[in-house]
Structure 1
Amino acid sequence: MPSLDATATAISRTHAPDLIPGYRLEKLVGTGGMGEVHKAIQLSLGRTVAVKLLSQQLAQEESFVARFQKEAAALATLHHPNIVSIVDKGSTVSTYYLVMEFVDGPSLRERMRTPPEDPLEKIRVMLQICRAIEYAHGRGVIHRDLKPENILFDVQAGDIPKVTDFGLASFLEDTSSRFQLTSTHVAMGTLSYMAPEQKVDAKTADGRADIFALGLIFYEMLVGELPAGHYDPPSRRKPGLDPRLDGIIANCLKQLPADRYDSVTSLIRDLEPLAPNYTTVRPAKLSRMQRVKLAVKRTVRVVLQVVATLMVLAAMGILGITWLRNSERRVPMTPGTSLSADLGLPSAQLVAGRLSSTDGEPRKVSLGEGVDKPSVLVSGRPLTLEDRTLVFPAVEGQSRVGLMVVDVPGMRGDTARFSARVNTGTLEPTSFADHLRPLMYGPRPDAEVALLLMGSPGRYVALVYNGAGAPLRLEWNLGEKRGAMLGPDSPVGPLELELSVDEEGVLVASYGTRDEKRPIAEPLHLGLDWQEKRFGKAPHPALGCIEGICRAEGFSYSVKPLPPKPVGAVAQASEPPRPQVQKPAPKPTPPAPAKRPTPKPAPPPKGKRSK
């Protein structure tokens, strides 16, 4: 054990081992102004004890002897696991002595010089110290000299802290040793840990002086140094500490005793919630293998908790995404039905193009290039013209359907041709939210672009392109005549589509260039006078777009009336044709047999006449 500093009158000679009856002095462990502290053996029990010997000089003064006897009697009443207990007291011919429990372990001062421990461990130690002081105050004993040197750790008993030197500071000044004894010329206690009222009048200091000292010790344990002046709270000096410790220490270090905790019990009441797993026994030191097993168990537990948490979050995410997708799910509709529905009030717009007329009647209209600027009606989504191309851009928050109808009335004719090069696209993601949206709401639907001939409300023919790889589609709703046909898979766009009606009223949908046109489906027989009979009026060419981005270039529509027929031809044409029945071929007549020549009669003989 470390020796004690000798700052006052020291005992210069060595005592005999059998100076104290029943004990054998083995080793001097400390000296001080009041005397010596020896490690000794109690012969009756064979146990190790600590023996305090009053110096022979002080043993001659009755006042010191009386205080020594009174202190020993007071400490004899304290029996607490966190207090160093007194075993015996007595006197010899030359001196007086106290026999105390011997604690073979470091002091709190020595413990604070080691690397800092876990804050919860420091709270555990402070709670045990407070329990000891609470017990002593309950029996009328005030320490008056609490400091780290007077708190020892009993390693053999589970490394529990024990408070020593009760009451000695009431009349002697301690040195900095563990078993220090105070001198008579300095105020009671150690100046650095004294309460303000104790420095003024030590006799009037009560248990709240010990509370002040406990606050100083606790602050030093947490921060590493004593607070001075207007000190910073512990949680500011040491990030990671519980901020509630700031208020507890502040209540201990109030300058006026009335402002502090009224008892150590109140201090313990605020301190206990900060150490919910409080135990009076220091955790046992684990072997390397035990630490490895504990680390593995802790890692497995953390991994299982993380996995369970991730599974719960994944399940919640899946449910949330499913709900979002169901709430955002759009009812599938055929393109023709979607484009012919009510899309709101259309807006008129002039577009660059050309308009051709014959005898005052419009015959051909084209959009994208020209100076005529035909009028179009746009509804649902905005329409732009980009480099001679009609474009329905993808706009967030707008309608999913856009429609442009050419507003050129009176385009009547017996034949018609409607063509354009079309293509579709998708909106490229530009932000993190755009990349996240498909995960939350599902992939965006493919864009669809359509060429339409639109007549009276609800009557239309639509040729739909749904992107590369999707089949082309022809839809029609012409009153009682309605239906749809799927064509071949679409090639990569842009793709030229065409709707044409010949002089017999047969509608053909095709794709490809003029040299390589391919029919999309079976011809649709509309009949003569198809504009009025099927569409209810001369149809208008239109461009439709559903979802995404739609483009159309070379938009052109033309009609052509047939030349008038002659009157006779018209009359004959007006009469219903009579069915012509083929007459069966006449059977061949067999040849008549050859007639033999009739022999002429012989002439009469000359000279005779017939009668």
Structure 2
Amino acid sequence: MSSFEPTAISRSRPPDLVSGYRLEKLVGAGGMGEVHKATQLSLGRTVAVKLLNPDLAKDPSFIARFQKEAAALATLSHPHVVAIVDKGKTDNTYYLVMEFVDGPSLRELMRSPSMETPVLLRRMLEICRAIEYAHGRGVIHRDLKPENILLDQQAGGIAKVSDFGLASFLDDASAASRFALTSTHVSMGTISYMAPEQRVDAKSADARADIFSLGVILYETFTGEVPLGTFDPPSRKRPGLDARVDAIVMRCLKPDPDERYPSVTALIADLEPLVPGSLLSMPPLRLTRWQRAKAAMRRAARVTAQTAAGVTVLAAVGVLGVAYNRSGQVRVQPPLPGKAIMDQALRDTPRNGPGRVEDVTPDKRRVTMGDGPDLPQMLVAGRTLNFENKTLVFPPVDDDEASRVGRARVDVLGMVGGVARLTARVRAEAPPATWKRRLKELWDGPPPEPVASLGLMGRDGRYVTLVHHGAGAPLTLEWSLGERGGAMLGLASPEGEVRLELFVTEDGVMQAFVGQGKDQRPIAEPLNLGPDWQAHFGEAPVPTIGCIEGTCTVEGLTYTVDKPAPMTETPATPVVVVPQQPPRTVAANTVPAKAVVAKKPAPPPPPVKRPPVKAAPAKPAPKRR
């Protein structure tokens, strides 16, 4: 980070503004706030503290963007992505603590005419690898520009991507629908680097929008100009540049997303051969088989010391063999928790439990599980579900149990309506440590974190669910509704039991919340499904809970739906008003003929009976005189 002179807008801050850190120097400022070089007092290391502008800290939309950046960085761990250290809140603003990158931005590197072409190609390759990794983790940057790319001088000048404040979190990056972005988010993008579809409608931007931005940066890196309108290929602007770069740039800059590279991986495949072998970025270092074996043996020693001294030698020998075998294995990325829980392959088993199904009012229907005399039926799949003291419990998974995933949905009819509210208090806890589990951990690696979920499930695997990963981890809103699907990371979950809520307004806007009363906070941006929102589920959805690994408890599961207004009854045949007839009283449930579509042709109206008209009596002829 290069030095930045403070202005009236970005003035210096008290050194002890952020607890645990000492602010040393202002190094950057922008629309969102300021970045300070600071010292982490606990470790004595240099970090970067990003402060949200205090005025913007009063606006929930800016707070959400700030939290989004923290959530994005928390999911990424890559040598070419700026790492996050901490986040928190002061008396009047919010802050992020990140690793301090001691070096200029790519913008400053572009201004150096002496920079050699192979070095610039290497930096672009590093940036592409960072974005490839982010896309693989379901994160789309959507604000790539030279100012957001820093060069770490202490690490040999490698590139590091920063500023994920406009990132989106998606299950399927090619999905057509997205969470609706506010106009504030759209205006914060940089027009020169935005893909055409992102300029028109930011919510339609997917991974290919980042590829367009990479093309703009690639062109500007070699020419010093942004490609606007009609422009020359970069090889004509920079002597000695390989002409193959022209084809790469032009494909990235295609106005139609379908004509660009389908992924950053395909872009890297064309760009990497242009970088000299000696300048290729070093991938993350992989331990040798012997190094992995020694690390595994040290872990085994700690485990066996807690069990029995006689097992030490056997465990160490076993671990050495396992480490040797596992050294070349590639782990497959598991599906999103919501998708795993809502998997149609899980077979349902009906089971009745304590609960209550009632009509609160003539227009409102409610189902509650855990307490009540009605014994509603639940469809349980995968793991076992118990009812314990008004609480639904997925007990710890047995070591020999095949399924690690459990799901239970309330099989109740008549929950068709407009306004809906689903609430419950959930908790996810790691399973108790046993010597079998510890040996299994040495063999298979660390187990996944326990997960609990609360959501609505429809037909054909359609769902919306809130996922709780345990204390401190971000809450997640996941959804899969036909062609619409994705995931959004939200606020960090508090410790202990967490109250989750899904609320749907009469206009079909779905919002997720955590907490209750004054402490209730939105988890993610609203999902606009429209007034006929239940149609996206294929049928009236039912409340569903889930659990992966560990022990999951759900208490106070309640689902309330306001019934839709009754349809107006219509007569079997349309009412036809005969012209020149005296007006008559129309019943309250009658509609005009033009509003009714008759299934059968209506018989013609009977002829109107009129009283016979008597002829006037003839007048006598006058007498002649």
Aligning the two structures, in what range does the TM-score lie when normalised by the shorter sequence?
A: 0.3 to 0.5
TM-score (norm 2): 0.41
TM-score (norm 1): 0.42
Identify which of structures 1 and 2 has the higher relative contact order when contacts are C-alpha pairs closer than 8 Å and 6+ apart: 2
Q: Specify the structure having the higher radius of gyration (Cα).
A: 1
